[in-house]
Structure 1
Amino acid sequence: MRIGVLGTGGMAAALGGAWARAGHEVFVGGRDGAAAEALARRIGGAGHGTPARAAEYGEVALLAVPAGAAPALAEEHAAALAGRTVVDCTNPLAPGPDGVMLTTRAGESVAGRIQAAAPGAHVVKAFNLVHASVWDLPAGAFGETPPAVPFCADDAHAAERVAGLITAMGWSPMPAGGLDRAVYVEATAAFVIGVWWAGGSPRLAFPEPAHPSA
């Protein structure tokens, strides 16, 4: 699969690198040409250029920029993104007096704002619940049972593409509903990251019962 990565930061490097290792063709687009070239070289075998070229590069485009900039970037390249699967991995978060807080309004998600900004695209919310460094781990690093990647999508074909990307990385796809459910995934990120920052382990908050149907 051909994937255009818009951004040159940690998530662009981690996901772009993981997809390149899985055999996908990756193109890095950045406003800073030197940064895009450096990341492409780090990924190995990736092309590089402008965000516009990345937006029109392949079947999938990853928006790996700060959450506040993602909708405007999608609007800027809306024509190129039309018909493509657009992956939003951002988290609209900021420190607050009582911990990590969402910067979006109640009931609003960044993924939804991206979809509104590029209505011809097929936006999928995914890859926002773990630290960028985790995507660098090899398949099988978590034992026999692969961890899951929740994702939200309205378009069935886009959902299938993202599920394929997740599986190729050695993870397990976890469909979490339509794009209107992205608000819950983003809120979950606020909880998870807040617990990390406080020195805790979020996974301890989700023990599974021995008999879920009981």
Structure 2
Amino acid sequence: MIKELLNKLFGNKKASPAMTQSETISHKENNTMTTYTIFGRGNMGTAIAGVLTKGGATVEHIGSADSDIATINGDVVILAVPYPAVESIIASHKDALAGKTVIDITNPLNFETFDSLVVPVGSSATAEIQAQLPTSRVLKAFNTNFAATLATGKVGDITTTVLVAGDDEDAKNALITDVNAGGLDALDAGSLKRAHELEAVGFLQLTLAGSEKIGWTGGFGLVK
């Protein structure tokens, strides 16, 4: 079940030759919106890129084989990788990430027990990342969405909503604007502290999907 879960979220990176190099996608000419660097070319990274490029943004992918050596060109960096991979990315790119907006999409599950999170009680993966990157603007987003609902823009009959938490209002508003431009709803979920609650929601959603109580095209929808 754990292997299937990881494949559903991030895809089989070893099977994708594109993961051995950086790739730049630009869907619109003369784009004036933010440029993004996404670590990860699996299902989530690809789906997020689809939303952002649909809205006019430029997206650069960095695959797993290049994650320690690639150059980060984007104004905003998205960590679309399993939580254990984040430590290596930060270690390799800490200086390059300084001053940038860093978006954490991870749900820090204990994949041995599948029954707990691996961050300190009361904390979150996002808070731990912010502590390691004190000059970066770290946001939590996309962790309560499945790739399929980002790609289709729907959870059932409801428009997919991306919940965004963080302490920098400008960074949150910029991401919300780009997500809206890509056809999805986005909502400011509050300060960085709310990443703790968002990860609890993401954890619950993953355990429901992993136990086949909901499908990977389902999930939680927000009615406003």
TM-score by length of 1: 0.76
For 1:106 and 1:196, the matched residues in 2 are separated by 24
SS of 1:103's partner is coil
Q: Which residue of 2 aligns with 1:149?
A: 162
For 2:221 and 2:156, the matched residues in 1 are separated by 17
For 2:132 and 2:142, the matched residues in 1 are separated by 21
Same amino acid, percent of matched pairs: 29
Q: Which residue of 2 aligns with 1:184?
A: 197
Q: Which residue of 1 aligns with 2:103?
A: 87
- The 1:168–1:96 alpha-carbon spacing in structure 2 relative to 1, beyond 3 Å, is same
Q: Which residue of 1 aligns with 2:85?
A: 69
- Say which of 35, 53, 58 aligns to 2:71: 53
For 1:148 and 1:51, the matched residues in 2 are separated by 34
The 5-angstrom pairing of residues 97-116 of structure 1 reads 100-116=115-131
SS of 1:191's partner is helix
Please tell me the residue identity of whatever aligns with 2:84: G
1:105 positional shift: 2.1
- Give the CA RMSD over aligned residues: 2.9
For 2:221 and 2:162, the matched residues in 1 are separated by 15
1:28 positional shift: 1.3
Q: Which residue of 1 aligns with 2:3?
A: none
For 1:83 and 1:204, the matched residues in 2 are separated by 33
Q: Which residue of 1 aligns with 2:179?
A: 166
For 2:175 and 2:105, the matched residues in 1 are separated by 12
- The 1:167–1:204 alpha-carbon spacing in structure 2 relative to 1, beyond 3 Å, is closer
Question: Tell me, which stretches of 5 or more residues in structure 2 are unaligned?
Answer: 1-33
1:193 positional shift: 1.5
1:154 positional shift: 0.3
The number of residue pairs the alignment matches comes to: 189
Q: Which residue of 2 aligns with 1:26?
A: 59
For 1:206 and 1:65, the matched residues in 2 are separated by 23
Question: Tell me, which stretches of 5 or more residues in structure 1 are unaligned?
Answer: 34-48
Question: Which digits, 9 at most, give the CA deviation of each residue in 1:54-79, with x for residues without a partner?
Answer: 3xx12211111111221442243122
The 5-angstrom pairing of residues 113-124 of structure 1 reads 113-124=128-139
1:201 positional shift: 4.3
Task: Please tell me whether the aligned partners of residues 208 and 214 of structure 2 are also in contact (alpha carbons under 8 angstroms).
Answer: yes
TM-score by length of 2: 0.73
- The 1:59–1:205 alpha-carbon spacing in structure 2 relative to 1, beyond 3 Å, is closer
1:148 positional shift: 1.8
Are 1:14 and 2:47 matched, yes or no? Answer: yes
- The 1:102–1:22 alpha-carbon spacing in structure 2 relative to 1, beyond 3 Å, is same
1:93 positional shift: 1.2
